[in-house]
Amino acid sequence: MKNWNIGIAALAATLSATTAHAGPTLDKVKERGRIVCGASQGTVGFGSPDDKGYWTGLDVETCRAVAVAIFGDKEKVEFVPLSGQQRIPALQTGEIDILPRTLTWTLQRDANGINFTTPTYYEFTGFMVAKSSGVTKVEEMTGASVCVQTGSTTEVVVNDVSTKQNLKLNPVVFDNVAATRQAFFSGRCDALITDAAALASVRATQSDNPDDYVIFPATKYMDALTPAVRHGDDNWLDIVNWSIQALLNAELYGITQANVDEMMGSDDPRVKRFLGMEPGNGKALGLDDKFA
Ligand SMILES: N[C@@H](CCC(=O)N[C@@H](CS)C(=O)NCC(=O)O)C(=O)O
């Protein structure tokens, strides 16, 4: 009986120790009054500013979700456009707080100063070529020149595919996205390589005639595009992870902007915890219980 009581006391202590202390990033972000988000140089659908400068896209929404979790306001974000090569150093040096920029989760990146959070998009790398070339698959690309952006996994994929299939591809490397795409469309390279959905976006929004281009997979391997944070602040990692989970869970529970007030009256314990009607969850992250 005595041991049982000790067990209960220990359990109670564990449960009450769930109020986390805010980490340094959360403190800094609160003091600044906004999140600084590493954005793309413009890929419609993932992240791009409209003609009024307002940013939208899947990656952009990740940062807006974190801003809502902290400030209750999706506009409390500053977007910093970064090239493929600039993006990881910008996170490591503290120039940005979060990097959701069509960023593939790789072991080397993970081991070298950044932490990946939760995948938001699964993707394979693709090639885009002019339809007039008649090329429809990798095996037909022998000797092709390929426009590729430095600082991206696609540089590795070009070499892997070339080696594996003995294609003798010629990478033509650029350090920013506009130059890479422009070079392809002006005929500087036979192919453009990047994430297939980004290729679809580029074809739809930046080509004279989307029907003039075809896209096919460069590899059969799927990558996980995953927002990342710096090493060394677990509280911030948790906040970004649970902000993304909140987006996913809201869909799972059928909670929308339109019905959220009604859902707050739900008698489902999970929904009640999710919406902060039962205390504890937000506080455990150093946030308001209604963060979601
Ligand atoms: N997912 C790959 C490639 C991502 C990437 O950087 N793609 C280039 C070429 S499309 C890019 O700059 N994309 C986004 C942009 O700047 O708009 C990676 O993590 O390295």
77 with 106, same domain: the answer is: yes
- Ligand 1 center to 198 CA (angstroms): 8
The domain boundary residue, chosen from 189, 221, 253: 221
State the average pLDDT over residues 165-181: 95
Q: Which atom of ligand 1 is nearest to the CA of 84?
A: 6
Q: Is 40 in the pocket of ligand 1 (CB under 6 A)?
A: yes
State the average pLDDT over residues 55-78: 98
Amino acid at 9: A
21 with 113, same domain: the answer is: yes
- Ligand 1 center to 28 CA (angstroms): 28
Residue range 115-149, pLDDT digits in tens: 999 999 999 999 999 999 999 999 999 999 999 99
Supply the pLDDT for residue 137: 97
129 with 117, same domain: the answer is: no
The alpha carbon of residue 174 and the mean position of all alpha carbons in its chain are separated, in whole angstroms, by: 22
Supply the pLDDT for residue 20: 57
**Which residue has its alpha carbon closest to ligand 1 atom 4?**
102
Residue 198 lies in a domain: yes
For the chain, how many structural domains are there in total? 2
- Ligand 1 center to 194 CA (angstroms): 7
Q: Which domain holds residue 67?
A: 16-121+226-284
Residue 9 lies in a domain: no
The domain boundary residue, chosen from 188, 221, 254: 221
197 with 240, same domain: the answer is: no
CA distance 151 to 139: 25
Q: Is 102 in the pocket of ligand 1 (CB under 6 A)?
A: yes
195 with 237, same domain: the answer is: no
Q: Which atom of ligand 1 is nearest to the CA of 82?
A: 16
Q: Which of 106, 152, 181, 206 for a ligand 1 pocket mutation test, highest count of atoms within 8 Å of Cβ?
A: 152
Q: Is 59 in the pocket of ligand 1 (CB under 6 A)?
A: no
**CATH number, domain containing residue 40:** 3.40.190.10
Residue 3 lies in a domain: no
Residue range 205-258, pLDDT digits in tens: 999 999 999 999 999 999 999 999 999 999 999 999 999 999 999 999 999 999
* 92/19: higher pLDDT: 92
192 with 76, same domain: the answer is: no
Determine which of 7-21, 100-114, 168-182, 200-214 has the lowest per-residue pLDDT on average. 7-21
- Ligand 1 center to 72 CA (angstroms): 30
* 5/288: higher pLDDT: 288
The domain boundary residue, chosen from 179, 202, 221: 221
Residue 53 lies in a domain: yes
Residue range 248-282, pLDDT digits in tens: 999 999 999 999 999 999 999 999 999 999 988 99
71 with 58, same domain: the answer is: yes
CA distance 288 to 21: 13
* 17/203: higher pLDDT: 203
Contact residues for 216 (Cβ-Cβ < 8 A; gap 6+): 126, 127, 136, 137, 138
Supply the pLDDT for residue 22: 76
Residue 140 lies in a domain: yes
103 with 234, same domain: the answer is: yes
CA distance 69 to 287: 7
Residue 2 lies in a domain: no
- Ligand 1 center to 195 CA (angstroms): 7
Q: Which atom of ligand 1 is nearest to the CA of 81?
A: 16
105 contacts 119 by C-beta, under 8 angstroms: yes
Residue range 3-47, pLDDT digits in tens: 444 444 444 444 444 555 678 999 999 999 999 999 998 999 999
110 with 234, same domain: the answer is: yes
20 with 117, same domain: the answer is: yes
- Ligand 1 center to 102 CA (angstroms): 6
Q: Is 286 in the pocket of ligand 1 (CB under 6 A)?
A: no
82 with 21, same domain: the answer is: yes
Q: Over the range 64-97, which residues count as b (16 or more CB within 10 Å of their CB) and which as e?
A: bbbbbbbbeeeebbebebbbbebbbebbeeeebb
Supply the pLDDT for residue 127: 98
Q: Which atom of ligand 1 is nearest to the CA of 198?
A: 10
Helix then strand then coil, % of the chain, to nearest 5: 45, 20, 35
CA distance 221 to 279: 43
35 with 54, same domain: the answer is: yes
- Ligand 1 center to 181 CA (angstroms): 11
Residue 135 lies in a domain: yes
Return the residue matching tokens 């593939």: 104
Residue 90 lies in a domain: yes
